[in-house]
Structure 1
């Protein structure tokens, strides 16, 4: 009996220690300031999802959380499990940040809902920009994903968004929301499951289909281990964000007032309009007007007869109407009207191109002439014969006049680089010695 009590006591003590250690790690994650969290991007395409500690023992199962998730579930399955609980812990502890999200949602959610409704996709998708960009129109990830919905350049182009020297429609809340809704429509049509479509939004349908093939399942939780790490976290974080945004009072989270807590009007212009001049006519801060119109790069709205452009402004008072009319209809903006399409800003693509260019420039060739052998060529370029054989895939030492050989390559064995470095030092030393002799 005493032995059983001792064993039981030891197990309880061990579990408590593990729980304490795991909680300390969670607290460390939660201690990241909201500013740091908003500006930090994760490895991958888009998301600002924080990492959490995976624990094989789900020791803090909360039936109240599950019941609340079940009550708000509509078209998308809102599963409750350890991974979702971890993200509920993270987001519910970031009260300031989630309070800001609640404030911003009053302005953005109606925009998102109109787009989602137009494509007949679930309304729950309106919560994705919370984990994508913290609802920041100017958010840019480390790989170049941009805007509220974090579109990569090529995907944005494919869904009709325009990027040129005047505008980046990935930052336009309305245009980008319709593009995102269209993407989800296509992804669901291909994958047949909303959680899989959401995963595909993060890592692409190709990665999701490969995970399906490996897991022999079309259930997200079954294929999750075969997805990129970021995507494994992305879906649980999405479910947790839905929970916290629907149950803020359960975690003492209060909505914070935002700049967007104003009534706005939409106008279409068919000419170039300066946002700076328009802000002055509206008697408002220029930065506030630019915040309402985040897609215009130069603070200039490049409207034309063929392609009128949208401007969001606060409700107009009669006192300012004459000044506003003047700016919209009679002012001339001194700038070139030439539109130049933007180039792909995918930083992964740029990195690959740079590496390819560097690799190409790193390779040096030599054309074999009569009487030359590997030893003489190796001596000429301060490399090893063995390096020449490896770089040129030579099985023996026979070479013929006219043959083209690689004689310098950064990705070689490394021995030649050491030899060259050593030779440079030796030559430098000789030069100094000769100079001393002359003195």
Structure 2
């Protein structure tokens, strides 16, 4: 699906609460398909404490210039600034410079230079926002045009986040459009441990268009709708009832009804519109509306190793995150499909990767061997992963961990978890792999590791690697076929181990584990598994019967 617009590294975010939306893929008037924006329910393993989202290494504070208040601003308007104020935007002004001091001060703050002609801190910030916005403004404008919304609203993220997709406010709002978690979910954005779609520039734009439409229908006035976007529709409705007025500017005169941030929000936004309508006359570089890269959307299955996938098409993890800021892990949510945005020239490589499950290295996963003293709680804290997620990924229901067993843990963005790229096999190794495929006598199961398979079949790890032309055991995937040498000898050794011993059939009871059963009969857990064709990942259930050879 082609996206005729931009990837948003930065997006503007707002904070409030409202109704649900459910939209499928949309098509522009030109026939170009836009990214799908399906309604996705929040994962059951979502963080309860939403502010923890802002603790990620990628999370960024809002630019301080966004919180500047009129009382902090000073200076007189220049002749160029006064001339720019004569042009009217699509949302018509109802006030002049003399009628609203906050508007004039914001306008001057974002355009002013010092006496030497150097840009002030407000102007520097505005120049940065202009540069950020060019990647995604074409897409946002396309969506708002198709929704029949005033095009001036595409500049609202300037007031929210400076078009920064990674921005988080201290209150917990996130993304370009600064949605609070509750509001984001109500408008179809997933916010959980796996991803934060408030940071998805495309889906969040659809959600913002939906929310703004709801607010305008509710109040019948764009100024009140904008105030509600900032403060919440409930607060604006209550303020209107108390004041007896029906317009924003009369409402803003009473300091008891609205917070200063909300009273200044509309004047600040109107000042931003004035500036972007007069960039060249004010000495700014004009916006380039043709800078958006051509991207493709790819739907991937749940549990996809995103790090390995990006590596397969020669995209490093930092670049992948720039294109897909919503992902919070190296692995996608195992319980739902997800959308990935990639450059058009990478589509073939990614589709080739996704079509070959045997080619999926688990670069985005960590393999952890349980140590004495470990607990689910301790591992959850160590790897910043909910206990429920760890259990589900490893298909374990027990609350007890056994030293020596291996757990798979999804990696998180960061250098210490990044895996090296995988090189092509040498000709000799490729030949060995081809022979092993012809002689394959084992299919990799969920939870298998090369070490488990070697232990189960009584062959050394190195022997198993050499027999299959593997450089390591990290590249195993479910369904992969392996050649295990000397399987006949394995059966013979089992017979030798049991020779002269008495066979006992043990019926598994509730609470039994392989370790408990082995200790009860004074045999090793490894022998118990070998006798019953089990491995360390095997699950035993009450009523199962196990063979045990005792002296």
Q: Same fold (TM over 0.5)?
A: yes
1:321-368 CA distance string (max 9 Å, x none): 4476225642264656959xxxxxxxxxxxxxxxxxxxxxxxxxxxxx
Report the counterpart of residue 252 of structure 1 in structure 2: 283
Tell me if 1:283 matches 2:299.
no
Alpha-carbon distance, 1:40 to partner: 4.8
Report the counterpart of residue 53 of structure 1 in structure 2: 71
Q: 1:249 to 1:217 in 2, by over 3 A?
A: same
Report the counterpart of residue 423 of structure 1 in structure 2: none
Tell me if 1:190 matches 2:218.
yes
CA distance in 2, matches of 1:214, 1:59: 36
CA distance in 1, matches of 2:322, 2:94: 33
- Please tell me whether the aligned partners of residues 269 and 309 of structure 1 are also in contact (alpha carbons under 8 angstroms): yes
Tell me if 1:74 matches 2:90.
yes
Alpha-carbon distance, 1:60 to partner: 7.7
Alpha-carbon distance, 1:213 to partner: 3.2
Aligned length in residues: 290
Secondary structure of the residue aligned to 2:173 is coil
Tell me if 1:151 matches 2:210.
no
- Please tell me whether the aligned partners of residues 84 and 275 of structure 2 are also in contact (alpha carbons under 8 angstroms): no
Report the counterpart of residue 452 of structure 2 in structure 1: none
CA RMSD of aligned residues (A): 3.4
Tell me if 1:326 matches 2:344.
no
- Please tell me whether the aligned partners of residues 282 and 316 of structure 1 are also in contact (alpha carbons under 8 angstroms): no
Q: 1:89 to 1:139 in 2, by over 3 A?
A: same
Question: What is the TM-score normalised by the length of structure 1?
Answer: 0.58
CA distance in 2, matches of 1:218, 1:146: 31
Secondary structure of the residue aligned to 1:312 is strand
Secondary structure of the residue aligned to 1:131 is helix
- Please tell me whether the aligned partners of residues 76 and 124 of structure 1 are also in contact (alpha carbons under 8 angstroms): no
Whichever structure has more helix as a proportion of its residues is 1
Q: 1:80 to 1:332 in 2, by over 3 A?
A: farther
Tell me if 1:235 matches 2:266.
yes
CA distance in 1, matches of 2:238, 2:310: 51
Of residues 72, 96, 99, the one that matches 2:124 is 96
Q: 1:303 to 1:178 in 2, by over 3 A?
A: farther
Of residues 251, 261, 265, the one that matches 1:223 is 251
Gaps of 5+ in 2: 1-59, 113-121, 366-388, 394-551
Of residues 200, 206, 220, the one that matches 1:172 is 200
1:384-423 CA distance string (max 9 Å, x none): xxxxxxxxxxxxxxxxxxxxxxxxxxxxxxxxxxxxxxxx
- Please tell me whether the aligned partners of residues 49 and 234 of structure 1 are also in contact (alpha carbons under 8 angstroms): no
CA distance in 2, matches of 1:257, 1:117: 18
- Please tell me whether the aligned partners of residues 188 and 194 of structure 1 are also in contact (alpha carbons under 8 angstroms): yes
After TM superposition, the structure 1 stretch with the greater mean CA deviation from structure 2, 246-255 or 290-299, is 246-255
Alpha-carbon distance, 1:114 to partner: 3.7
CA distance in 1, matches of 2:351, 2:123: 40
- Please tell me whether the aligned partners of residues 101 and 255 of structure 1 are also in contact (alpha carbons under 8 angstroms): no
CA distance in 2, matches of 1:112, 1:288: 22
- Please tell me whether the aligned partners of residues 132 and 164 of structure 2 are also in contact (alpha carbons under 8 angstroms): no
Q: 1:299 to 1:196 in 2, by over 3 A?
A: same
1:210-248 CA distance string (max 9 Å, x none): 332344322211111332110111111111111222222
Alpha-carbon distance, 1:131 to partner: 1.2
Alpha-carbon distance, 1:302 to partner: 3.6
Alpha-carbon distance, 1:100 to partner: 2.6
Alpha-carbon distance, 1:96 to partner: 3.3
Tell me if 1:112 matches 2:140.
yes
Secondary structure of the residue aligned to 2:168 is coil
